[in-house]
């Protein structure tokens, strides 16, 4: 049963950085809160007005005139208003508040919505992560609703996965990471000259957890880190890419072969994050049952 049709009447909202595949959005009736992408003098809503592949093509042509911004509280309020027409209870799962202002916008909008929209109750959750690990948290809430849980039950399910989920991201270049504000431009340029490929995790903030001399070594290292976390336990996994469909398919085959996957899917790395990582980025998000 889809979450949007559940008798418990709970709607799930998450932002576009969750990188949720369209089939999950449709199956569970999840509402996507799009983050803004600025390319030249045009603004696009992530995954609503433009696909990730289209954004990356434009990014590669003119990376200097590319930026992003969190949705405003007014935009968040409108998403809540639309969702409230389907259900009075809403769980909004946002990317880490240490990475983006999206959580703050959603929290402000939820307060306004609960004051102005009759009978509406909204829980806003700071996931402390991003990309497909955020997707798994939102999906946990949606699947709980589909199983008949109420808002409190959906929130508890989301918290449970939030405590278990991990993500490792391998950059193909450090050329653009200074844009995140966490790596000085000089360090990024030096890393690019040395051809170093950093590996990041996302726990609250973006954390450097290793480096690799080449892509092959980097993939081995992120898979080794995954083995350390889950061993051969049953695992939910997602593999991600930034404009690298062939490479992500190879990574998916490795994960399928080397782990006991009860769930495994592919998604495109949101250009909102890709703005700082560049194309060729690969990643894996996962948690053990």
- For domain 3-35+70-162, give the CATH superfamily: Dihydroxyacetone kinase; domain 1 (3.40.50.10440)
Residue 76, helix vs strand vs coil: helix
Give me the residue spans of the domains in the chain.
3-35+70-162, 166-288
Instruction: Look up the CATH number of domain 166-288.
Output: 3.30.1180.10
Torsion-angle region of 77 (φ positive above 0: left; ψ -120 to 50: alpha; else: beta): alpha
Residue 23, helix vs strand vs coil: helix
Other residues' Cβ atoms within 10 Å of the Cβ of residue 207: 11
| Sign of CA pseudo-dihedral 193, 199, 202, 205 | negative
Other residues' Cβ atoms within 10 Å of the Cβ of residue 221: 18
For 149-206, what is each residue's pLDDT tens digit?
Answer: 999 999 999 999 999 999 999 998 766 654 555 444 444 443 444 467 889 999 998 8
* 8 A C-beta contact, residue 275 and residue 68: yes
Enter the DSSP assignment of 228: H
Task: Output the pLDDT for position 176.
Answer: 60
Q: How far apart are CA 240 and CA 269, in angstroms?
A: 6
Q: Could you give the strand order of the β-sheet that contains 121-126, starting from the edge strand earlier in sequence?
A: 31-33, 10-15, 89-94, 121-126
Task: Output the pLDDT for position 7.
Answer: 39
For 125-160, what is each residue's pLDDT tens digit?
Answer: 999 999 999 999 999 999 999 999 999 999 999 999
* 8 A C-beta contact, residue 53 and residue 243: yes
């Amino acid at each position: 049963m889809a979450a949007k049709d559940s008798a418990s009447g709970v709607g799930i909202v998450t932002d576009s950085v969750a990188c949720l595949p369209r089939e999950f959005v449709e199956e569970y009736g999840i509402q996507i809160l799009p983050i803004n992408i600025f390319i030249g003098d045009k603004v696009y809503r992530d995954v609503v007005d433009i696909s990730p592949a289209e954004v990356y093509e434009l990014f590669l042509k003119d990376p200097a005139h590319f930026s992003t911004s969190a949705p405003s509280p007014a935009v968040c309020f409108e998403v809540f208003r639309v969702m409230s027409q389907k259900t009075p209870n809403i769980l909004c799962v946002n990317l880490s508040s240490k990475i983006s202002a999206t959580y703050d916008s959603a929290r402000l909008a939820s307060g306004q919505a609960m004051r102005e929209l009759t009978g509406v109750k909204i829980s806003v959750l700071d996931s402390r992560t991003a990309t497909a690990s955020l997707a798994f948290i939102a999906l946990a809430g949606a699947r709980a609703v589909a199983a008949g849980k109420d808002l409190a039950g959906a929130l508890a399910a989301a918290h449970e996965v939030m405590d278990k989920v991990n993500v490792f991201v391998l950059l193909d270049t450090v050329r653009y990471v200074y844009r995140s504000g966490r790596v000085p431009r000089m360090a990024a340029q030096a890393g690019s000259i040395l051809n170093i490929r950093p590996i990041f995790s996302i726990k609250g903030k973006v954390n450097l957890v290793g480096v690799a001399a080449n892509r092959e070594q980097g993939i081995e290292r992120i898979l080794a880190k995954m083995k350390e976390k889950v061993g051969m336990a049953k695992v939910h996994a997602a593999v991600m890419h930034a404009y690298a469909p062939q490479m992500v398919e190879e990574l998916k085959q490795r994960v399928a072969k080397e782990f006991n996957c009860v769930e495994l899917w592919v998604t495109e790395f949101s250009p909102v994050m890709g703005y700082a990582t560049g194309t060729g980025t690969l990643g894996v998000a996962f948690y053990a049952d």
